Chains A and B, each alone.
Chain A
Amino acid sequence: CSESDLGPISLNWFEELSLEAPP
């Protein structure tokens, strides 16, 4: 699968989603 199929990829997705999600 390529990045274009899945959208922009972040190696730190877990930390970033934890900052964005409601506490």
Chain B
Amino acid sequence: NTMMPDHMAVSWSGSLREGSLRLVSKLKDLSGSCAVDVSTVWWEESGCPELCVVTACETSVSLWKPLSSDQWRNMCTWHLTEKPVIQIVPLPDVHNLVCAALGDLEIGELRVLLCSSEDSSLKQSVVKTGNIKAVLGLKDRRLVSSSRTFQEQQVEIISFLETGRNNKRKTLMAPKETVLAFAEVEGIRDALIGTTTVNSVVVWNLKTGQLLKKMHVGYSYPASVCHRAYSDSGLLFVVLSHPHAKESESCGNPAFRVIAFNPKTGRSAGVMFLSLPPGHTGRYLEGEVKDASAAAVLTSGTIAVWDLLLGDCATLLPPESGGPWSLVRWSARDSYLLAGQKDGSVCVYSYS
């Protein structure tokens, strides 16, 4: 039974294709609430973990289980009535646990949502409060966050047990500038980077907590946000988005940019600009990068997907009849793209 009293899964196994995207199914939250985020999480009920979709509106977070390739069942919904939900924080290798960031204009609280193994009742517990500026789920069941008091900044790692209980906290050395985004460094196990309010990339050693380096991104692209980083041949490659970039004749209006930093000298060089194809307009609103694929919602309401290996815009997904796209996320496994609209609809596309 795919029907629930106030939620419904609408399936669609049609062959609608937009470039390299194929619509697999559509989730519709009939509560009519505005969708604020969407994500995926591994959920295990009877010894077999399944990749489930998590949708969030301001007052609730819902878990959707796949029944078949194109049908979904609303498994449970946590109601969060004290503070609005701002985002879901994916924890890459955690099962049966959803982390949500709550607050008014800014994140004021991080909460884990789980289901009791004893009586299947829904549970919530607060793991951090404060003026939280950035948060990211890391591998090995960890969560990093930056938070600000009037005088100082705290950058903290929280480790989780398999049961979802948080058991260990560790503080990293904080830079003077506020950290607004984090990314793990692929290729170096203990390296973490962040981007700051003064447009710098900072590098930490997660094991020792040391702040290793601060490198400036450049003045042409203010308020850069890091999405992905990898180390190769002695260089640190960082994928940045530029919500406030100015259009230039040579590069158009790049949504993402790949920059190579030499961490030893702090010098950098642009490697790749990811812009829209000629004839298309729109600025970056929000997006996500996974492996070699970058996706962004543009001001035009269209979703654009780029191939980071080729540097090309791979496909454009125009707004659906229900309205412009407002959210885009990659699934934790395989190449599925989750595209959300403000009315709570989430379309699941396979990307090839």
- Residue positions of A touching B, CB distance < 8 A: 1, 5-11, 13-14, 16-18, 21-23
Contacts and interface: CB of A to CB of B under 8 A. Distances in A.
Contacts, number: 63
A6 B265 CA distance: 7
B234 A21 contact: no
Contacts of B211: 21
Contacts of A8: 262, 264-265
A21 B172 CA distance: 13
B260 A1 contact: yes
A14 B191 contact: yes
B208 A9 contact: no
Contacts of B269: 1, 5-6
Contacts of A10: 234, 264
B263 interface: yes
A14 B205 contact: yes
B173 to A, nearest CB: 8
B212 interface: yes
Interface residues of B, number: 26
Contact of B263 (A1, A5, A13): A13
A5 B233 CA distance: 15
Given A1-B269, A1-B271, A6-B235, A14 B212 contact: yes
A22 B172 CA distance: 12
B126 interface: no
Nearest to B266: A7
A11 to B, nearest CB: 5
Residue among A13, A16, A18 facing the most chain B CB atoms (10 A cut-off): A13
Contacts of B261: 6
Given A1-B260, A6-B268, A14-B212, 5 more contacts: A5-B269, A9-B235, A13-B262, A17-B212, A17-B263
A9 B234 CA distance: 6
A22 B33 CA distance: 49
B260 A6 contact: yes
12 contacts: A1-B260, A1-B269, A6-B261, A6-B262, A7-B262, A9-B262, A14-B188, A17-B203, A17-B205, A17-B264, A21-B205, A23-B210
Given A5-B267, A5-B269, A6-B262, A11 B233 contact: yes
B1 to A, nearest CB: 53
Given A6-B268, A6-B269, A9-B234, A14 B262 contact: no
A11 B234 contact: yes
Contacts of B191: 14
Contacts of B264: 7-10, 13, 16-17
A9 B260 CA distance: 12
Leading 8 A-B pairs by shortest Cβ distance: A7-B265, A1-B269, A9-B234, A6-B262, A17-B212, A13-B263, A21-B210, A11-B234
A8 B233 CA distance: 12
